[in-house]
A and B are shown apart, each in its own frame.
Chain A
């Protein structure tokens, strides 16, 4: 549906995006994750045609935005970081204006009514946008993106500035929209991306540093398979026993957690799954397993590791250059 190839954007000598490539399949909810200033908004602005790239190209449904600007723009509903609202208009006037601006051909009143019901702004329909709260403004912004029912929705930090209840509402709305739209949303809040997106692109300093589903992403980053296990027994015996496991790389005691119960991290060789062997060993030796869990990183740790690693690498690059 959306294909981004080798996208580069420079402002003077500052490179804000460098060789970003990815494709988004139809009906996916893709999350753009990255610290502030990573290039999320820039990428979105380029996809929607607000900015031009210094290099690379974007195609939506096989059409390049430079060759078919109006066709492509009609397919995209865009909510920028700051909703583009005219504060001197009422919600009704504004949505009607956007309806005309986007040259929507759906039955006007019915379509606008439906969208208002979807984002729950019916009760402020005839109020001035300038008098609305941030949450309502954000929703009016989402409403204008939905006008014309475009197949692609690009939402730049859609839940910023909302209260927790509204955040949950908007997330549910986005999930619902994801059933029949291709959605790209950006956020620097991990739990949000984790809750809503099927696929995550982590972007940092203008580069894509990771790409995958929330689960594979945290799995990948851990590298080796790591288990956190609590066993009852004598510490030295337990440690010796664990070390005899097939394909085990390292056993690290974490101390006594309960009386007579010791915790260990057991790291296996890449690709090895130690859980079954561990169970067999414990039952043979008569050590009760009191807890066992994989010690994969949370998305938060993944994110920090990715972005920190990148920053460090970039710094090194800078120093050597």
Chain B
């Protein structure tokens, strides 16, 4: 698993993908931050971080699109699957590499907060809570992306699929309001990533949310491993 993790992480930064993802995320975030700071005051910094996850979702499909598809297309999966590593190890290595790139981008996004903290008092708990929440949200999203990527050899389909999934999860809250059936509405509310994420933006360390995101990640990583395994059978 360590070998795969190291290789994946290196390949993100030996190709432009890693840099582009981090740069795009930081640029979008910085632009938004600058706009808000321009028209309002530094006390709004926490709400800037609160909406950060929307930007995060932009890069997840790009990060995950190649993770499984590329190996299958280039037949390098033959090296991985015939090596003495379990499928779980392979999937975890790839997942953790994606999460690391994502984490690096999030770390970079702390810069504006650092700058603000020099000139005004800053609620670090809220900021760090938000970033932590974004990491969890992103981790769950990445696991979904990795799974979608294992379904296809095409990176484009993989990216679009993950993008659609993340969009769906973003707007699912609005859907629950427009559905009259109580059961379905509740179901939709239950799968809403957004509502699980919101507590973190107010500095609340919500254990049930943490468990939720970790479970989602675990489930989709499990699916991905099974998907790899099942390919051997047909």
Contact = CB atoms under 8 A, between A and B. Distances in A.
Contact of B79 (A45, A70, A74, A101): A101
A102 interface: yes
A12 B234 CA distance: 8
B187 interface: no
A78 B15 contact: no
A70 B84 contact: yes
Interface string B9-21: 0110011000000
Contact of B84 (A45, A51, A103): A103
B86 A70 contact: yes
A97 interface: yes
A103 B76 CA distance: 17
Nearest to B77: A84
B79 A98 contact: yes
A97 B80 CA distance: 11
Contacts of A78: 78, 82
Interface in A89-109: 89, 93, 97-98, 100-103
A143 to B, nearest CB: 12
Given A88-B14, A100-B3, A80 B78 contact: yes
Interface in B56-96: 74-86
Interface string A66-88: 00011101101010101011111
B82 A73 contact: yes
Contact of A49 (B6, B75, B82, B234): B82
A101 B76 CA distance: 13
Nearest to B15: A88
Interface in A116-133: none
Contacts of B84: 69-71, 73-74, 102-103
Contacts of B74: 84-87
Contact of A97 (B3, B14, B15): B3
B232 interface: yes
Interface in A36-58: 45, 48-52
A144 interface: yes
Contacts of A85: 74, 76
Nearest to A98: B79
B233 interface: yes
Contacts of A102: 83-84
A84 B75 contact: yes
Given A73-B84, A84-B76, A102-B83, A50 B11 contact: no
Counting chain A residues whose Cβ lies within 8 A of the other chain, the interface size class is: 20 to 34
A170 to B, nearest CB: 19
A11 B80 contact: no
Interface string A170-182: 0000000000000
B232 A50 contact: yes
Contacts of B15: 88
B140 interface: no
B4 interface: yes
A55 to B, nearest CB: 12
B75 A73 contact: no
A199 to B, nearest CB: 24
Given A88-B11, A101-B3, A82 B82 contact: no
A86 B7 contact: yes
Nearest to A54: B233
A77 B80 CA distance: 12
Nearest to B93: A101
A86 B74 CA distance: 8
A51 B232 CA distance: 4
A103 B84 CA distance: 7
Interface string A241-271: 0000000000000000000000000000000
Given A86-B7, A97-B3, A76 B76 contact: no
A84 B70 CA distance: 12
Nearest to B14: A88
B78 to A, nearest CB: 4
Interface string A210-240: 0000000000000000000000000000000
What 10 A-B pairs have minimum CB-CB distances, sorted nearest first? A100-B3, A84-B79, A70-B84, A101-B3, A84-B76, A73-B84, A80-B78, A52-B232, A48-B82, A84-B78
24 contacts: A12-B234, A45-B78, A48-B82, A49-B81, A49-B82, A50-B81, A50-B82, A52-B233, A70-B84, A70-B86, A71-B84, A80-B79, A82-B75, A84-B77, A84-B80, A86-B76, A87-B74, A89-B7, A89-B11, A98-B79, A100-B2, A100-B6, A101-B4, A102-B83
Interface of B: 2-4, 6-7, 10-11, 14-15, 74-86, 232-234
